[in-house]
Amino acid sequence: MALKDKQTHVTYHKGVDTIGGTNIEIAYGDAHIFFDLGTEYRPELDLPDESYQTLIQNHLIPKLDDFYDEHLTGAPRWKGKFQHSAAFISHLHLDHTKMLNFVDQRIPVYSTPATIKLLKRLNRDGNFLLPAAGHPKEYLRPLTELPVHHKVKVGEIEVEFYPVDHDADGAVAFLIHTPDAFIVYTGDLRLHGYHPEWTRAMMKAAAGCDLLISEGVGVSFPQDLDKSRKPWSEQLLIEKLVDLVKNAAGRPTTFNTYPGNISRLEAICDAQPRTVVLTADRAWLLQQITGRKVNYYYSPSAKPLPELDPSLEVDYQRLLADKDTYLWQVEDHFEDLQPNTLYIHSDAEPLGDFDPAYQKFLDMLAAHHVEFVRLACSGHATAAELDEIIAEIKPQLLTPIHSFHPENLKNPFGSRVLPQNGQTLVLH
């Protein structure tokens, strides 16, 4: 559909009826912006590779004009439609970032300083993001920092970052103004984490918007719809973890978390009755992001990291033989653990039942007589929290996305549209 002059167009390219792979375009006049830059997660497809062509053929990323690196597409980028372009990343999770190296190098990509710092650290070996064409796998395309509450203009489109609470440091929502519309994209958010006040401040700033584009993970499953259920907070998770460790006297105890949740990792280090020991990679990441130095070890497959303090290294064999001196993080070589080891899985990978690797992981632990305990605190707003967010904002129009069942999210204060992938809405 051809753009009408001076009207705001919103195109939902991907991520409408699934969790992950969100890609939305807002266009006004001679400018357009995109957010986010993840890929749809479909491990059951068992793809031969993750090349641009394979992802396009399997509909895991959208077909987009004037967006992808021409070295990937094999076709020169056509610049006849828009004079101004930009892309924005709400937070570091792969379902929002994985294909950012596919974006044409001439298009600026904006995110928060915290998210950019984490992406640089996590991709230092090229094992986090998809690789850029013509570069080493550890290459990360240029990114532009936009601190929270700062604004950037792309043509006549203005974007402001508002911090929100999520289980990834640096997460933001986008407040977007065009000459004829006020649009809010929540990114991923919640009200039960370390900083609910960030989300609430965003809600107040977003009040009365013309369009609210809201994540809806919290209404994706039947059990989620019981609004009387209270979510675990990050504080409660730490309390439960401490209790587990205290009750495991005389027993080897290990854990793992998602690397982007730096706040949870610091809380674990601060609260535990035992000495916490991280993998060298995670200790390096924590030191790079926060400056904090902690005890660490090298697993048999780990590479030496000269930035780490040698005096803080704990011998791997010492950890394997330990009974109750250490709480140590384990990411691999689970077969080396003692029988009767307690392993606490706190939103680490594999993430859950939807991943075919999850049951295989559980079976492997059982085969080695390692007890699995899951401690989770969702990074996403519950159904009740989503209702509260919508009630505070009172959007004229709601489009739920990033959910297996977006139809479960209602808007009592205005209208609602359930967009299809590829659909364009014109805001008058």
- What confidence tens digit (pLDDT) does each residue in 153-194 have? 999 999 999 999 999 999 999 999 999 999 999 999 999 999
Which pLDDT score is estimated for 2?
43
Region 374-394: mean pLDDT is 96
Classify residue 17 as exposed, middle or buried by CB count within 10 Å of its CB (0-12, 13-18, 19+).
Answer: buried
Angle at 122 between CA 87 and CA 111, to 5 degrees: 25
Q: What is the 3-state secondary structure (H, E, C) of the chain?
A: CCCCCCCEEEEEEECCCCCCCCEEEEEECCEEEEECCCCCCCHHHCCCCCCHHHHHHCCCCCCCCCCECHHHHCCCCCCCCCCEEEEECCCCCHHHHCCHHHECCCCCEEECHHHHHHHHHHCCCCCCCCCCCCCCCCCCCCCEECCCCCEEEECCEEEEEEECCCCCCCCEEEEEEECCEEEEECCCCCCCCCCHHHHHHHHHHHCCCCEEEEECHHHCCHHHHCCCCCCCCHHHHHHHHHHHHHCCCCCCEEEEECCCCHHHHHHHHHHCCCEEEEEHHHHHHHHHHHCCCCCEECCCCCCCCCCCCHHHECCHHHHHHCCCCEEEECCCCHHHCCCCCEEEEECCCCCCCCCHHHHHHHHHHHHCCCEEEECCCCCCCCHHHHHHHHHHHCCCEEEEECCCCHHHCCCCCCEECCCCCCEEEEEC
Of 73-87, 176-190, 335-349, the range with the lowest mean pLDDT is 73-87
At 302-322, the pLDDT tens digits run: 999 999 999 999 999 999 999
Of 73-77, 101-105, 215-219, the range with the lowest mean pLDDT is 73-77
If one counts every other C-beta atom within 10 angstroms of the C-beta of residue 172, the result is: 30
Residue 4 pLDDT exceeds 60: no
Angle at 197 between CA 20 and CA 384, to 5 degrees: 55
What is the set of domains in the chain, with CATH numbers?
8-223+380-427 (3.60.15.10), 234-374 (3.40.50.10710)
Which pLDDT score is estimated for 3?
45
Sorting pLDDT into bands at 50, 70 and 90, what band is 48?
Answer: very high
* Cα–Cα nearest to 259, from 46, 39, 50, 97: 97
- Rounded to whole angstroms, the Cα distance separating 357 from 380 reads 22
Percent of the chain with pLDDT strictly greater than 90: 87
Region 75-103: mean pLDDT is 90
Region 263-280: mean pLDDT is 95
- 151-154/144-145 β-pairing: unpaired
If one counts every other C-beta atom within 10 angstroms of the C-beta of residue 141, the result is: 16
Of 63-77, 119-133, 165-179, 256-270, the range with the lowest mean pLDDT is 63-77
Which pLDDT score is estimated for 108?
98
Sorting pLDDT into bands at 50, 70 and 90, what band is 5?
Answer: low
- Rounded to whole angstroms, the Cα distance separating 36 from 398 reads 18
Phi-psi region of 324 (alpha: psi -120 to 50; beta: other; left: phi over 0): alpha
Cα-Cα-Cα-Cα dihedral of 391, 395, 400, 406, to 10°? Answer: 50
- Rounded to whole angstroms, the Cα distance separating 355 from 361 reads 10
Cross-strand bridge partners of residue 416: 398
User: pTM of this prediction?
Assistant: 0.93
Say which residue the tokens 């004229």 belong to: 396
Which pLDDT score is estimated for 65?
84
At 229-269, the pLDDT tens digits run: 888 899 999 999 999 999 999 999 999 999 989 999 999 99
Sorting pLDDT into bands at 50, 70 and 90, what band is 20?
Answer: confident
